Structure 1
Amino acid sequence: MDFRNFKMPYSINPQYSKKTAYFSMEFAIDQSLKIYSGGLGFLAGSHMRSAYNLKQDLVGIGILWKFGYYDQARNHDQTLNPVWTKKMYSYLEDTGIQFQIEIHNAPVWVKVWYLNPETFKTCPMFFLSTDVPENDHISKTICHKLYDANESTKLAQYILLGKGGAKLLDEMNFERDVYHLNEAHGLPAAFYLLRKYGGDLFKVKEKLVFTTHTPEEAGNEKHDLGLCHNMSYFCGLSMKEVKQIEGTDDERFNHSLCALKMARVANGVSQLHGVVSRAMWNKYPNICEIKSITNAQEFKYWADKLLYISKDDGDTAAFDFRKHYLKKRMFRNVADQCGKLFDPNIFTIVWARRFAGYKRADLLLEDKERFRRLLENKEFPVQIIWAGKPYPMDYSAISTFNNLVEESKNYKNMAVLTGYELSLSKSLKQGSDLWLNNPRVPREASGTSGMTAAMNGSVNLSTDDGWIPEFARHGENSFVVPKADYDNMTTLEQDQYDLHKLYDILENEIIPTYYNDKNKWRKIVANAMDDVRFQFNSDRMADEYYKLLYNN
């Protein structure tokens, strides 16, 4: 293939002919391709699969992380030990394209790798690497660790994604009408275009769309403006010119705010998140419109086909047999990692996602006595599993993980697993009866793990945040903590309120229904599987991006 004159390798559906490039720091495509950390990557991976399903004129642009995010291992006492192992991918094609971009006022070589659509059924994807012999050691390390903790390295990564990705499209003579930034990491692409178009911001706006995933202003990244300038982030613009675009006098550069000023349209990732984002950003002048396109996950990749077949046929015996099998298969992971034998006949709760403070992994343990009663109940026995990867420098989240590990040593029916990537994620969703999700409202922009859990016959128990208000019917397809007046509560009051409501719903509604009314439980599971199937399939999402963002 001649990558210098790249053409889409399949026929394009005329509905989706707007030529688009999608920039993301991470993509969860396949277990073997370890270039993702969590939800942002899971979402981007599903988007790329749906772009292939719908035959959209879209390509993905990311970074080939040499050491991935990290490998989640254990110390001798079972606590977390982040390990970095060099990754090898024989199925990626060398495009033969190598070019230079400026980072920190110096030329840095960028090499480009290609993922063929037929390998994992995605749209065409290109991955950038600076780990080439022509670069010095510091430049090589830019693409080593996803979300590197060093501020300068992190900014260099954003420049590689944005500036490198935009230059790649020019190197391939591959004209794009839309540059879609999945989060603000790829924003240097906008400054690259601004330079290309002789400073014409309106031409940049015509091409740029932006998806924000962060529902609080403090969570949106800011870095020292002078450092960004010194790193060559702005493609030759002076700091004064950047401030005119961003529209603030702050010495810290706000990536998301600037993206909202340079894009023609943006979106939040759930209906609720759209409302929160508009309220958060509308106080700033000259930002673009913020729409809502709710995240979704690819049904074809995630859903267990046999569960759906038996549900659709009304064959409860076959459904129960399949779910029993999936639980047994998942419990092999528990036995392998923790030396604990879980019982597929026992109600199994799973909390599994990225470890972050607002997600409150250990909320149930805030009431130790009630937690003990839950796990020692002989009439209605319960098994509970935690899994997830904290950011390797987030010592608070690592401490939460380690505290859960310590607590699990007291119970045969409590386990904490490592290695929460695509394969384990799928297994846990297939093997769980209840998917626990308890972020502080309204801090979860979307929270897609519950969607894929529902696709595998697992019922959601959640606080009323992210995608949940668009899906949940309490007691019919899920269980939801009723919203309180969170605005007027302290964090402690909110945690206590949510904690007691979670236990009340578990003890009085969920667990008795599971054991005493199997038909009602099956109906709740079936409703969830039906309700999630189309509305939260990423084919719907990829279609909406064309209709609401790209084509407008």
Structure 2
Amino acid sequence: MDFRNFKMPFGINPKYSKKVAYFSMEFAIEQVLKIYSGGLGFLAGSHMRSAYNLKQDLVGIGILWKFGYYDQARNHDQTLQPVWTKKMYSFLEDTGLKFQIEIHSAPVWVKVWYLDPDIFQTAPMFFLSTDVPENDHISKTICHKLYDANESTKLAQYILLGKGGAKLLDEMNMERDIYHLNEAHGLPAAFHLLKKYNGDLNRVKEKLVFTTHTPEEAGNEKHSLRLCYEMSYFSGFSMDDVKRIEGSSDDRFNHSLCALKMAHIANGVSQLHGDVSRTMWSKYEGICKITSITNAQEFKYWSDKPLYNAKDENDETVFDYRKKHLKKRLFKVVADQTGDLFNPNIFTIVWARRFAGYKRADLLLQDKERFYKLLNNPKHPVQIIFAGKPYPMDYSAISIFNLLVEESKNNKNMAVLTGYELALSKLLKQGSDLWLNNPRVPREASGTSGMTAAMNGSVNLSTDDGWIPEFAKHGENSFVVPKGDYDNMSVYEQDNYDMNKLYELLENEILPAYYNNPNKWRKIQYNSMEDVKDQFNSDRMADEYYQILYNYKG
């Protein structure tokens, strides 16, 4: 294939003919391609699969991480051990394209790999690498670890994604109408365009759209403006030029704020997150309109077909048998990793997602006595599984992971699993009865793991955050903690309130329904599976990106 004059490898649906380049730091496409860490990647992966399903004129641009995020292993005492292993991918095609971009005032070589749409049924995808013989050692390491802890390396990664991705499109003579930044990591693409258009910001705005995923201002990345400038982030524009665009008086550069100033439209990733984002950024002048497009996951990839067939045929026996079979399959992994033999007839709760403080993995353990009572209830027994990857330098999150491991040694019906990637994620969703999601409201922008759980007959128990307000009908398709007066509560009070409500729901509503009224429980599963399959399928989301964002005329 001639990549210098790249043409889309399939026929385009005229409805989606606007030409789009989608920039993301991570994509969870398939288990074998380990270039993702968590929800942002799972979302981007589903988006790429849906772009293929709908035959959209969209290409994905990411980075080929040599060591991925990290491999989650265990120390001799079962606690967390991050391991970095070089990854090999024989299915990626060498495009033969190699070009230079400026990083830290020096030329850095970029090599490009291609993922053909036929391999995993995705949009065409291009992955950038600096790990080539022509580069010095420091330049080679830019693409080594996803979300590197070193600030300069992290900025170099953003420059590689944004400036490198934009330069790649130039190299391929591939004109794009829209540059879509999935989070602000790829923002250097906007400065590359600004330079290309001789400083004409309006021309950049015509092309740029931005998806924000962070519902509080402190969580949006800021770095020293001078360091960004010295790293060649701004494609030659001066710090004064950047200040005029960003408009903040701070000496730290706010990536998201600048993206909101340079884009012509942006979106939050749930209706609630759209509201939170508009309120949060409204104090700044000159930001673009912020709408919302609720995140979703690809139904075809995630849902268990036999479970849906049994539901659609209302064959309760087959449905229950299939769910038990899926539980047994997950429990083999539990036994292999932990030595615990879980019982498929026992109610199984799973908490699995990225370990971050606000997601409160250990919330139920704040009341140890009640936790033990829950696990050891002779009438309504419970099994609980935890899984997730803390950021390898987030020591407080790692300590929570390790605390759960220690606690699991005292309870044969509690397990902590390692290796929370696509394959294990699917097994956990298939094998759980209840998907526990308890972030501190309103910190969760969307939180898509519950969607894919629902696609596998796992019922959501959640705080009322992210996508949940758009989905949940309490007691009919899920169970939801009623919102407290969070604005007037301390963090301690909020955690205490939510924990008590979670226990009340488990003890008084959920466990009695599961054990004493299986028909009622199955009806909740059916409703959940039905309500998630269209509205929270990423085909709907990918369509909305075209209708609401890419074709926006404002």
Fold-level similarity (TM above 0.5):
yes
Give the aligned partner of residue 372 of structure 1: 372
**Whole-Å separation in 2 of the counterparts to 1:447 and 1:486:** 19
* Residues 87-102 of structure 1: pairs in structure 2 closer than 5 A: 87-102=87-102
Give the aligned partner of residue 78 of structure 2: 78
The one-letter code of the counterpart of 1:518 is P
* Residues 378-527 of structure 1: pairs in structure 2 closer than 5 A: 378-527=378-527
What SS does the aligned partner of 2:68 have? coil
1:355 corresponds to 2:355:
yes
The sequence identity of aligned pairs, in percent, is: 82
The one-letter code of the counterpart of 1:470 is E
Q: What's the CA shift for 1:318? A: 0.5
Give the aligned partner of residue 136 of structure 2: 136
Which runs of 4 or more aligned residues in structure 1 lie more than 2 Å from their structure 2 counterparts after TM superposition? none
Cα deviation, 1:474-532, whole Å, max 9, x if unaligned, reads 00000000001101110000000000000000000000100000000000000000000
What SS does the aligned partner of 2:280 have? helix
Give the aligned partner of residue 182 of structure 2: 182
The one-letter code of the counterpart of 2:138 is I
Give the aligned partner of residue 226 of structure 2: 226
The one-letter code of the counterpart of 1:10 is F
The one-letter code of the counterpart of 2:443 is R
What SS does the aligned partner of 1:41 have? helix
What SS does the aligned partner of 1:512 have? helix
* Residues 186-201 of structure 1: pairs in structure 2 closer than 5 A: 186-201=186-201
The one-letter code of the counterpart of 1:122 is T
Give the aligned partner of residue 18 of structure 1: 18
**Whole-Å separation in 2 of the counterparts to 1:304 and 1:129:** 36
Give the aligned partner of residue 306 of structure 2: 306
Normalised by the size of structure 2, how large is the TM-score?
Answer: 1.00
What SS does the aligned partner of 1:73 have? strand
Measured on the aligned residues, the alpha-carbon RMSD in Å equals: 0.2
Give the aligned partner of residue 167 of structure 1: 167
Q: What's the CA shift for 1:30? A: 0.3
Cα deviation, 1:316-352, whole Å, max 9, x if unaligned, reads 0000110010000000000000001000000000000
Cα deviation, 1:397-456, whole Å, max 9, x if unaligned, reads 000000000000000000000000000000000000000000000000000000000000
Give the aligned partner of residue 547 of structure 2: 547
What SS does the aligned partner of 1:509 have? helix
**Whole-Å separation in 2 of the counterparts to 1:512 and 1:363:** 22
Cα deviation, 1:340-371, whole Å, max 9, x if unaligned, reads 10000000000000000000000000000000
Residue segments in structure 1 that go unaligned for 5+ positions in a row: none
**Whole-Å separation in 1 of the counterparts to 2:248 and 2:435:** 43
The one-letter code of the counterpart of 2:367 is D
What SS does the aligned partner of 2:354 have? coil
* Residues 51-62 of structure 1: pairs in structure 2 closer than 5 A: 51-62=51-62
1:205 corresponds to 2:205:
yes
* Residues 202-281 of structure 1: pairs in structure 2 closer than 5 A: 202-281=202-281
Give the aligned partner of residue 118 of structure 1: 118
**Whole-Å separation in 2 of the counterparts to 1:233 and 1:507:** 54
1:534 corresponds to 2:507:
no
What SS does the aligned partner of 1:148 have? coil
The one-letter code of the counterpart of 1:439 is P
**Whole-Å separation in 2 of the counterparts to 1:384 and 1:244:** 53
Q: What's the CA shift for 1:249? A: 1.4
Number of residue pairs matched by the alignment? 552
Cα deviation, 1:241-263, whole Å, max 9, x if unaligned, reads 00000001100000000000000
**Whole-Å separation in 1 of the counterparts to 2:376 and 2:451:** 30
* Residues 301-340 of structure 1: pairs in structure 2 closer than 5 A: 301-340=301-340
What SS does the aligned partner of 1:30 have? coil
What SS does the aligned partner of 2:369 have? helix
What SS does the aligned partner of 2:549 have? helix
The one-letter code of the counterpart of 1:328 is K
**Whole-Å separation in 1 of the counterparts to 2:486 and 2:189:** 38
**Whole-Å separation in 2 of the counterparts to 1:69 and 1:76:** 22
Normalised by the size of structure 1, how large is the TM-score?
Answer: 1.00
Q: What's the CA shift for 1:131? A: 0.1
Cα deviation, 1:459-481, whole Å, max 9, x if unaligned, reads 00000000000000000000000
1:45 corresponds to 2:35:
no
The one-letter code of the counterpart of 1:191 is F
What SS does the aligned partner of 2:383 have? strand
**Whole-Å separation in 2 of the counterparts to 1:509 and 1:316:** 22
What SS does the aligned partner of 1:118 have? helix
What SS does the aligned partner of 1:113 have? strand
**Whole-Å separation in 2 of the counterparts to 1:489 and 1:290:** 28
**Whole-Å separation in 2 of the counterparts to 1:250 and 1:240:** 12
What SS does the aligned partner of 2:25 have? coil
**Whole-Å separation in 2 of the counterparts to 1:515 and 1:241:** 65
**Whole-Å separation in 1 of the counterparts to 2:391 and 2:205:** 34
**Whole-Å separation in 1 of the counterparts to 2:372 and 2:36:** 35
What SS does the aligned partner of 1:385 have? strand
